[in-house]
């Protein structure tokens, strides 16, 4: 298991890594992400990543549980949406000088990233336009939050090695073991003492077991970065046309990436490819 400090750093990196995907999914101009950690009086939220903001006043901002939109999400572990930030009475307004004054935000939502029943992070989406944030954008953002939670669930069960790096194991020189076994076997034939010969025979048997080569398990499926980006957008329900627009590719290129990923995953269709990619730990 990885320690809490290391996990917090990885949570921050994963939230930041998903922010661009959140922008594409929601279509919103202003996005924030923050990590939730234990604090006095409950969990506290710290804003760690900004995108589309005018200034940096929100970066590093800390919110107690129940404070502002993000604090409500941390305390309740449920999404929160405000259609008019300035007039909403369901939230506290300690940060109006930044939200309204510096950033001129009109509508905002926040979504929890929940792992094992605990809020580990929060995503925000906001717009300066005088309109509500629609359900489509909120649902799309919710899928990104759910994917991030899956990432973090895997992190909590890994060791200190990165997910794509197998733990290092000692190198065993099987050829040397084989030679040692053969030499001991020859030596045993020259020993007349039955007790010593019996002990040598036992050692030979033990070394013989150790010298057996392990059978190779099935090789892990690997996909390219573009194939993985394509699979992630398919997981969000995007069509080939939308994927092409998001990645700046032609539809034919997207189809080629998808076809290659399906072949590597031995999948018959897009849905099956996503399921198998999840099973392989790729998504």
Highest mean pLDDT among 88-102, 152-166, 177-191: 88-102
So what's the pLDDT on residue 180?
65
Please say which residue of 155, 172, 201 terminates a domain.
155
Who contacts 22 (Cβ-Cβ below 8 Å, separation ≥6)? Answer: 31, 123, 125, 141, 144
Nearest to 45 by CA among 81, 73, 3, 85: 73
Residues 51-82: tens digit of each pLDDT? 999 999 999 999 999 999 999 999 998 889 99
Residues 195-242: tens digit of each pLDDT? 777 776 777 666 655 444 444 555 678 888 889 888 877 876 778 887
Please say which residue of 155, 171, 202 terminates a domain.
155
Same domain, 38 and 127: yes
- Token pair in block for residue 222: 């690997």
Please say which residue of 155, 172, 207 terminates a domain.
155
The CA angle 173-175-200, to the nearest 5 degrees, is 100
244 belongs to a structural domain: yes
At residue 98 the predicted structure's pLDDT band, cuts being 50, 70 and 90, is very high
At residue 184 the predicted structure's pLDDT band, cuts being 50, 70 and 90, is low
169 belongs to a structural domain: no
Same domain, 17 and 95: yes
Contact 100, 10 (CB under 8 A): no
So what's the pLDDT on residue 162?
47
Same domain, 260 and 141: no
Domain count, the chain: 2
So what's the pLDDT on residue 153?
83
The percent of residues in the chain predicted with pLDDT above 70, rounded, is 77
Give the domain range for residue 35. Answer: 4-155
- Phi/psi region, residue 113 (left: phi>0; alpha: psi -120 to 50; beta: rest), is beta
Contact 26, 140 (CB under 8 A): yes
Same domain, 38 and 146: yes
216 belongs to a structural domain: no
Q: How far is CA 42 from CA 79, 167, 181, in A?
A: 18, 36, 62
For residue 34, give the CATH number of its domain.
3.30.450.40
Residues 153-178: tens digit of each pLDDT? 887 766 444 444 444 444 455 556 66
Task: Answer whether residue 121 shows pLDDT above 90.
Answer: yes
Q: Report which of residues 159 and 14 the model is more confident about.
A: 14
239 belongs to a structural domain: yes
Same domain, 26 and 121: yes
Burial class (CB in 10 A: 0-12, 13-18, 19+), 120: buried
Same domain, 150 and 269: no
So what's the pLDDT on residue 161?
46
Strand (E) or helix (H) holding 277 = helix 270-279
Q: Report which of residues 83 and 226 the model is more confident about.
A: 83
Between 36-40, 104-108, 205-209, 250-254, the lowest mean confidence (pLDDT) is in 205-209
Same domain, 147 and 261: no
So what's the pLDDT on residue 59?
96
pTM exceeds 0.85: no
Average per-residue pLDDT for the chain: 82
pLDDT mean over 28-35: 96
At residue 137 the predicted structure's pLDDT band, cuts being 50, 70 and 90, is confident
């Amino acid at each position: 298991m990885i320690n809490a400090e290391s996990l917090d750093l990885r949570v921050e990196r994963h939230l930041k890594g998903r922010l661009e995907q959140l922008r594409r999914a929601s279509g919103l101009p202003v996005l924030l992400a923050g990590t939730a950690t234990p604090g006095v009086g409950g969990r506290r939220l710290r804003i760690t990543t900004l995108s589309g903001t005018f200034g940096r006043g929100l970066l590093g901002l800390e919110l107690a549980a129940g404070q502002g939109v993000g604090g409500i999400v941390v305390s309740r572990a449920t999404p929160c949406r405000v259609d008019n930030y300035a007039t909403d009475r369901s939230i506290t307004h300690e940060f109006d000088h930044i939200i309204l004054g510096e950033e001129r935000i009109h509508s905002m939502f926040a979504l929890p990233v929940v792992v094992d029943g605990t809020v580990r992070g929060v995503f925000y989406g906001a717009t300066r336009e005088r309109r509500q944030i629609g359900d489509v954008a909120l649902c799309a953002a919710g899928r990104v939050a759910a994917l991030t939670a899956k990432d973090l669930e895997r992190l909590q069960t890994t060791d200190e090695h990165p997910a794509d790096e197998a733990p290092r194991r000692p190198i065993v020189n099987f050829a040397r073991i084989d030679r040692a076994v053969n030499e001991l076997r020859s030596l045993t034939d020259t020993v007349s003492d039955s007790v010593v010969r019996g002990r040598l025979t036992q050692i030979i048997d033990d070394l013989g077991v150790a010298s057996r080569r392990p059978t190779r398990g099935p090789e892990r499926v690997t996909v390219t970065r573009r194939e993985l980006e394509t699979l992630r957008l398919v997981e969000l329900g995007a069509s080939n046309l939308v994927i092409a627009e998001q990645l700046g590719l032609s539809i034919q290129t997207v189809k080629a990436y998808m076809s290659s990923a399906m072949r590597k995953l031995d999948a018959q269709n897009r849905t099956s490819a996503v399921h198998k990619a999840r099973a392989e730990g790729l998504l």
